[in-house]
Structure 1
Amino acid sequence: MTNRRELLRLLAASAPAAAGIGLWPSSLQAQAERAGLIAANVCSLSPEVTEGPFYLDPNLVRRDIREDRGGVPMTMNVQVVTADCRPINGARVDLWHCDAQGNYSGFARQGSDNTRDTRGQTFLRGTQISGNGGQVAFQTIFPGWYRGRTTHMHFKVILGRDEALTGQIFFPDALSQYVFENASAYDRAALQDTTNVDDWIAIDAGEGAYAQVKERSDGYDASLVVAVDYTERRGASVTRGAEYELATGT
């Protein structure tokens, strides 16, 4: 039998290299699910990375953040947990990313060519508060790309009044290439110039920042477990209970 501490050790030892993101052993994924985790990516406290471009808080608590943006449908599931993988309820999660053409909402000089003005717009931005299990889910699209960066999303986790973590979410290069080559919303005159292995932010973030992606009939479901430094005074609560007992995978 494997306890929660041993599960964390196994996750850390089995995290795939960047070239094989998403290829966690099925036995380990099953153990993570039995432990109440939505993905097997978590190895330790999630690393802080640069906030990146164009954060703003439009005060939009909502699940569906697409507005008028076209693209391949994706549900982005995020689970906020403590360092020992106990879900945190009441955590605020902000998510934002560019559209299929590489534009963020709310700012001038958007896209790889810096010509699009999206001031006053709020597409592909939203906030949710984690409920039971520390989970939130955003209905969105697969993100596009812009010059100098690999495909990614941005997120913040806020506990009470404290910003607990700012991070980015990454996806398999093969999936990005497939989407960009086959979905018309992503048609561009240029080809994506940066992939995961070339992106220094993705490299710094490590394997634990890559979403676990599952295909569905109309798009994709992506999941990421985010482990943050938790203290009781931050105004959220931890789901407590008996230690999970997990069957050892073979």
Structure 2
Amino acid sequence: MEDCVKHDEKKPVGLLLPRRTLIRGVGIALAMAPFAQLLACGGGTDDGSGTDDGGGKGNGTWATGGTAAMSGNYPDPFASGIGSACTVYKAATLGPCYAATVDRKDISEAQPGLPVRLAFLIVNPSCQPVPGATVDVWHTNPAGLYSGSDASNMCTNGNAAARASRWFRGIRATDANGRVDFDTCFPGWYSSRTIHIHFTVRVGGTEYLTSQLFFEDALNNEIISTQTLYSSRGAKDTTNVNDNVLRQSGLTDYYFQTQKMDDGALLAWKTIVVHA
């Protein structure tokens, strides 16, 4: 792997709770106010613009029916390297929609939606893999609702099914190559926010980075407009350009790279650098 350009280091904070158990949220914060600068390498096989293969478009139509529609025979997006330049990331608090999570690869709980394979590569500032790091992800269902009775009520909108579920929450440890995958569905949107996925990286019992990742608006708009499950709610009211969190962070540096798979699922990937 090529060396990354090194930026300001950050001392780790927080504690890693035992894996393969439910993990409780550690406080509620109301905004994604940046409190530190961390690193993330540009990852994958394209030019870092956020998409591959024509803006994430492959042959055929997008798949429906959730993760059950996935063939799983997907290429390694990191096979051609992870890039040599690092970008400054801004870290954030967990936020009011964090809740207990579960150690698992498929985080959908059989919810419907466009199936997505999320691939993360965790590396150190020398771009060497960090095995055994845990990546914790959470996002909304296609209707724009988070799950969990322990999330803030505004995140579930008081919906009984959402409060009783743990959909689209999961945590896994990276393998010897520093990689971890999740199978999920494309998130929905809610008022005042563009479509996004939260994540936290912890290494050796400490929290190193909590932030959010995004998809290009062209991809968001295509999926929302072509799938009934998403289009029934209408166009989202916030774009990437006017989303306060993303606008303050630096737009394209926070985009997943994406590619449409032959089975109609979406492959999305990102390389994250931590000082571990």
2:107–2:182: 8 Å Cα contact kept in structure 1? Answer: yes
Contact 1:15 1:41 in 2 (8 A): no
Q: Structure 1 residues 42, 227: closer, same or farther in 2, change over 3 A?
A: farther
Residue type matched to 1:65 in 2? Answer: I
- Partners in 1 of 2:93 and 2:234 — Cα distance? 26
Check conservation: 2:97, 2:155, Cα contact below 8 A: no
- Within the alignment, does 1:65 sit opposite 2:64 as a pair? no
Equivalent of 1:22, from 51, 60, 70?
Answer: 51
Residue 170 (structure 1) aligns with: 214
Q: Partner of 1:53: helix, strand, or coil?
A: coil
Partner of 2:99: 56
- Answering whether residue 258 of structure 2 is matched by residue 213 of structure 1, we say yes
- Given that 2:4 and 2:85 are in contact with CA atoms closer than 8 Å, whether structure 1 keeps it comes out as no
| Percentage of pairs with the same residue | 31
Q: Does 1:74 align with 2:73?
A: no
- Between the aligned partners of 1:224 and 1:149, the Cα distance in structure 2 is 21
Quick check: 1:49–1:167 contact (8 Å CA) kept in 2? yes
Q: Tell me, yes or no, if the aligned pair for 1:95 and 1:125 is still in contact at 8 Å.
A: yes
- Cα distance in 1 for partners of 2:245, 2:52 equals 21
Give the 3-state SS of the residue equivalent to 1:139 in structure 2: strand
Summarize deviations over 1:106-162 as a string: whole Å, max 9, x none: 043446xx3523223101111100002111000001111000001100001011221
Deviations for 1:139-194, whole angstroms, at most 9, x for unmatched residues? Answer: 00111100000110000101122111001110010000011111121133442011
1:124 aligned to 2:168?
A: yes
Secondary structure at the counterpart of residue 197 of structure 1: coil
Equivalence map 1:34-113=2 (5 Å): 34-35=80-81, 37=82, 40=83, 43-58=86-101, 60-107=102-149, 108-110=153-155
C-alpha contact (below 8 Å) 1:93/1:136 kept by paired residues: yes
Q: Distance in 1 between matches of 2:109 and 2:84?
A: 30
Aligned partner of residue 90 in structure 2, secondary structure: coil
Q: Give the corresponding residue for 1:240.
A: none
CA shift digits 1:186-243 (9 cap, x unpaired): 133442011111112112333332100000122100001111122xxxxxxxxxxxxx
Shift of 1:33: 4.2
CA distance in 2, matches of 1:79, 1:189: 33
Structure-2 change in CA distance of 1:187 and 1:41 (3 Å): farther
CA distance in 1, matches of 2:4, 2:273: 14
**Kept in 2: contact 1:71–1:142 (CA 8 A):** yes
Superposition deviation, residue 81 in structure 1: 1.0
The CA distance in 2 between the partners of 1:42 and 1:212, in whole Å, is 15
Q: TM-score, normalised to structure 1's length?
A: 0.74
Question: In structure 1, what is the equivalent of residue 201 of structure 2?
Answer: 157
Displacement of 1:5 after TM fit? 4.7
Which string of whole-angstrom CA distances, capped at 9 and with x for unpartnered residues, describes residues 66-113 of structure 1?
A: 1131110000001111122111000011111000010000043446xx
What CA distance in whole angstroms lies between the structure 1 residues aligned with 2:247 and 2:93?
Answer: 12
| 3-state SS of 1:76 partner | strand
1:41 is displaced (CA, Å) by: 9.5
Structure 2: where are the runs of 5+ without partners?
8-40, 54-77
TM-score by length of 2: 0.68
Q: Distance in 1 between matches of 2:85 and 2:186?
A: 22
